[in-house]
Every structure is written in structure tokens, then in C-alpha cells.
Amino acid sequence: MQSDMLAFLKELVSLPALCARDKPVRDRIRREWEPMVDEIGTSRLGNLHGIKHGSGPSPRSQVLIATHMDAIGMMVSEIVEGFLRLQVIGGLDPRMLLGLPVVVHGRRRLEGTIVQPPEACLPPAARRSAVAFEHLLIDVGLPPRQVTRYVRPGDIVSFALAPFQLGEDFLAGHSLNSRASVAALTVCLLELQRRNHLWDVIAVATAQKEKTAGGALTSAYMLQPDMAIAVGVTNGRGPGVAEHQGFILGEGPTNGWGPSIHPGIHREIQTAAQREDIELRDEIMPVLTGADAEGLQIAREGIPTGVISIPLRYLHTSVELVALSDIRRTGRLLASFVSGLESDFAETLSWD
């Protein structure tokens, strides 16, 4: 990575980039990837594509590695006496919103906080449970006339909490469920600067995963890779997460196994982990993967796909938690997978 991975990741988390409004983070990723790839561009939907050519004979096979860059957040739905009502973009739990600092991205950038009426003023049914979205408001500390001057319904709202470290290896913050995988793919591109690889690598930071999953599907349709890997996150072991439901942070990534995953790619990921002496745990994914795999797999006539996931605690909160060592291991694993591909690997793939 051209800069320190931790500093890069903190910067990504601090940038506002909600679903379909992700230009700030896309521009930052582009600056990081551009020196490490041979071609770079943006799709019509807003995905970022970085292509690094392999050393094999032309026409070369291509592997697409997808990570999503968009994040969950909120949108102003109504202005009431200077207070802002909100709706969510993506899967947000109202129990974690009260008291959070936010930024309203209107005609002027406004800092605010999410508040609720005093308990005595809430309907009786709302006093003994989590306060519903309809009762939450954003207070930006301005008179109503100024609020309506700067804010309109439809303006986006992002979290304002800065990321912070816990111990030497853990990073906490919002949006890490997307930005951690972007950092891992960036580590992969850096590793590939000093490794020979026969295949072309298409690094993709996808848009709109949190709402439509359209980013991965459209890029796979456009670029027509021979196979793909989706990089995402999985449940980290923690409070309320049973042993069979999550994975310990700091012990390495997981290798997905389920209907969306090609068994030949699953085996090759295992082989790549063994070459790097990376501990890799199988993750059973009987329905959905939580990553971009479903969109990649069904593009055009179908693309053989694998899934690698980084354990993460407290998904879709403002204090998601990841281990930096897992991000680095995931990047090395991806680079090992790519550099280990023989020219004819795609022809050997079968469902047996």
C-alpha cells in the first residue's frame, strides 16, 4: 500500500460515502490504486475498476475481485420546526442511533446529534422499548429558518464518530463492513507488485451493495471475467454470538462454502492459504453470502465465484470492530490465490 494501511483505512471510514452517494470514498480509493494498476476507470453505476495486467500470453484469463465501498446511513425525510426526521439507507437498527453525532450533507455541512423527545412525552407504548425511527430526530442547533435554508428532504446524513483503536490490533468505527474489505484488496494489489501472476486482475470497489447489489452484477456483466472472488465480512465471535455463528477476530479470514460458491475456487483458496501459512476457516453459507457473490455468480451466463470474509463484530453499528491482522492476512491470501493461477486454470474448473 502506498500509505500506511491503518491510516488509509481510518481515512476511508471518515469519508461520507453512503449507498449511491459514494464519490468521496471512490475518489480516495482511486488515488490509492492508480499507481498499482495498469488501467483504472469508473462504470456507469459508479463502480471503480482497476485492472492489473498479468504476464501470461494474450488473450489472458481475468479474475475479478469485488469489495463494496458504500455504507449504510440516513436521509432527511422531513423538517419539523427546525428538527429533521430521518429514514434509513441500508440495515440500521434504531436501538444504536440515539445520541450519535452525525453530519447532515445539505447546502451547508451541518453537525448534529440524534435525539428523541423526553420519555414522558412519548406515546405510552414507546416508553418501555427501543424508540422507533418515527420518534427520532436530528438536532443541528439552528433556528428553524436557518435549517430550512441549508437542509432539504433527501439530503444524506452520515455518522460523525471517528474510528479508534482498541489495543494494538483492533479498530472500531462505522462502515468497516465495507472499508475493511477495500483495505484488504488494496493490500493484495501492493503484494502483487512483487509477485508474478499470469492472469489479469480486476480490482472492483462496488457501489449500491447495501440496497440493490447492483454494483457487482453490472461490473461482472460489463467486464466478463473468467471467475470472481467476493470479499466481505462475517460475524465475529462476541456477546450473544454462539460458537457456530461467528469466528474469532485475529485468527484469519473465512472461506465460504455454499450454493453461490464454486467448489473448484473454494479448493484453490485453501491451497493459496496453505502456501502462505494462513489459518483459514470454512464458513457454511447455505442461503446468502452477505458479500457480492450472488450478483457475480449470475452475471451473463454465470461466473464461477468464491467468497473470502473478514470476521467483524457489531455489524451495522457505529462501532464495528475488526482485527487489522485479519485484513492483512486477507490481502496476502488474495495475492497468493492470484499468483498461483495457471494459465489453463479456468478450463479445469468443474462442479465435481
- Of the chain, the percentage scoring pLDDT greater than 90 comes to 64
C-alpha dihedral (60, 64, 65, 70), degrees to nearest 10: 140
* Per-residue cell: 60: 489472458
pLDDT at 305: 92
pLDDT at 19: 59
* Terminal CA-CA length for the chain: 38
Alpha helices in the chain (DSSP H): 5-14, 23-33, 144-150, 176-191, 214-223, 263-276, 293-297, 324-339, 345-348
pLDDT at 121: 73
pLDDT at 228: 94
* Per-residue cell: 190: 501492493
| CATH 2.40.30.30 matches 73-159 | no
Q: Name the segment(s) of the chain with CATH classification 2.40.30.40.
A: 73-159
Of 29, 114, 130, 90, give the one whose Cα is nearest residue 320.
Answer: 90
The class level of CATH for 5-71+174-348 reads alpha beta
143 conformational bin, left if phi > 0, alpha if psi -120 to 50, beta if neither: beta
pLDDT at 2: 42
User: pLDDT tens, position by position, for the chain (352 residues)?
Assistant: 444 899 999 999 988 777 567 888 999 999 999 999 999 999 998 899 999 999 999 999 999 999 988 888 899 999 999 999 998 887 777 778 888 999 999 999 999 999 987 777 777 766 666 677 778 899 999 999 999 999 999 999 999 989 999 999 999 999 998 899 999 999 999 999 999 999 999 999 988 766 666 778 888 889 999 999 999 999 999 888 888 889 999 999 999 999 889 999 999 999 999 999 999 999 998 877 667 878 888 788 889 999 999 999 998 888 999 999 999 999 999 999 999 999 999 888 877 6
Q: Name the segment(s) of the chain with CATH classification 3.40.630.10.
A: 5-71+174-348
What are φ and ψ of residue 5, in 5° steps?
A: -60, -40
